[in-house]
Chain A
Amino acid sequence: MNWGSAGNFFAMGGYAFYVWGSYGVTALFLVLEIVLLVLRKRTITQRLGRRIRMRSEVKNEAQT
């Protein structure tokens, strides 16, 4: 498939709005899902990390 020029490529034979509207939204949502998952994982591990540290401090104080 030879497009000739970048302009022809982005014009998509007159279907630019529909082709890029499909690919763009798909890419956006797939990336968004990954970002949301990374944030969710970070929130959980930070919260659990705090709880684990608190528990070990309580244990250490009980021993001293």
Chain B
Amino acid sequence: MRTINWFKYSSPASFYPLAGKLIPYFTVLAVVLTAVGLYMGFFVAPTDYKQGEGYRIMFIHVPAAWMSMFIYLVMAVYAGAGLVFNTRLSSMMASALAPTGALFTFLALWTGSFWGKPMWGAWWVWDARLTSELILLFLYIGFMSLKAAIDDPRRAARASGLLAIIGAINIPIIYFSVQWWNTLHQGASISITSGTSMEATMLTTLLVMSFAFWMYAIAVVLARVRCEILEAEGDTEWVAAQLGKGQ
């Protein structure tokens, strides 16, 4: 039996072409899922009996919020792997994830604000859910700034990696904030333990949009990690060979 070398793709030289091959697949998936999700969100899902058509913001707000937390966890895992195994690719992956995570955090806050204004009457409240999500945005920005501020790439990876891991404590705080504190933000409509309190087509639409955002994030992060790799390894022979092939 052949043993699989799990570390083969942890080297930038072999991951670069692999990422390049994967990007088109994730792009196609993201485009198709977005088209289906938008169609369902605007033409299949019924009007909400309480919030009218305004609830349709949910189909981008909830996926963006999920992605903002999920990407942070993935980033912290890569940062941790970078600290333990000292693999360069892990720290590059963490750097590649941060801007997309920050973007989804911003979008969760933005769409939440545009949803809160008509439903609660306020663009912003200092509620536990909203405040902890804002802290998540600052964690992403802090991670990127710290990495950019240190010249030596190894030290930059260590310092920012530590920040990413410590900041991960914020994720359960965001997730459980609606249970732990008395918040204006509504509780989870979908829960692993108690199922869902949502109409079936609404739930399906929400899941389709979540997968769309997920596929988008993978495609974009793979494209960005390729840039990170090129910037770090620009003068090596394999980069010259790859660029010679038009990759």
The answer to whether residues A26 and B223 also contact, given A1-B44, A1-B47 and a CB cut-off of 8 A, is no
Closest partner residue, chain B, to A44 (CB atom): B230
Chain A residues lying within 8 Å of B230, measured Cβ to Cβ, are 41, 44-45, 48
> Which segment, of B113-121, B146-154, B173-181, B187-195, faces chain A?
B113-121
Q: How many of chain A's residues have a CB under 8 angstroms from any CB in B?
A: 28
Question: Are B235 and A12 in contact, with the CB atoms below 8 A?
Answer: no
Chain B residues contacting A37 (CB-CB under 8 Å) are 220, 223-224, 227
Give CA–CA (A34, B34) in the complex, Å: 15
CB distance from A27 to the nearest CB of B (A): 9
| A17 to B165 CA separation, bound complex (whole angstroms) | 39
Known contacts A1-B44, A51-B235: A15-B224 contact under CB 8 Å: no
Q: Is the CB of A13 within 8 A of B54?
A: yes
Q: Given the known inter-chain contacts A13-B54, A18-B114, A18-B115, please indicate yes or no for A33 contacting B64, CB distance below 8 A.
A: no
**8 A Cβ contacts from A9-25 to B:** 9, 12-15, 18-19, 21-23, 25
Min Cβ gap B55→A in Å is 9
B 103-126 to A, binary, CB cutoff 8 A, 1 in contact else 0: 100110011001101100000000
CB of A58 closer than 8 Å to a CB of B = no
Residues of B within 8 A of A52 (CB): 240, 243-244
Instruction: State in angstroms the CA–CA spacing of A1 and B224 once bound together.
Output: 39
Contact of B114 among A22, A34, A40, A47 (CB under 8 A): A22
- Residue from B54, B64, B216, B239 within 8 A of A15 (CB atoms): B54
**Chain B residues closer than 8 Å to A49, beta-carbon distance:** 243
- B36 within 8 Å of A by Cβ? no
Given A33-B100, A37-B224, decide whether A18 and B117 contact each other with a Cβ distance below 8 A: yes
**Selected contact of A18 from candidates B47, B57, B243, CB within 8 Å:** B57
Does A62 count as interface, using CB distance less than 8 angstroms?
no
Interface residues of A in 25-64 (CB under 8 A from B): 25-26, 29-30, 33-34, 37, 40-41, 44-45, 47-49, 51-52
Q: Does B56 contact A (CB under 8 A)?
A: yes
Chain B interface residues toward A at CB < 8 A: 42-47, 52-54, 56-57, 60-61, 64, 99-100, 103, 106-107, 110-111, 114-115, 117-118, 216, 220, 223-224, 226-227, 230-231, 234-235, 239-240, 243-244
Name 19 A/B residue pairs within 8 A (Cβ), A-sorted.
Answer: A9-B42, A12-B56, A13-B47, A13-B53, A13-B54, A18-B114, A19-B56, A21-B114, A22-B61, A25-B107, A25-B110, A26-B110, A34-B220, A37-B223, A44-B227, A44-B230, A44-B234, A48-B234, A49-B243
Q: A residues bordering B, Cβ < 8 Å?
A: 1, 3, 9, 12-15, 18-19, 21-23, 25-26, 29-30, 33-34, 37, 40-41, 44-45, 47-49, 51-52
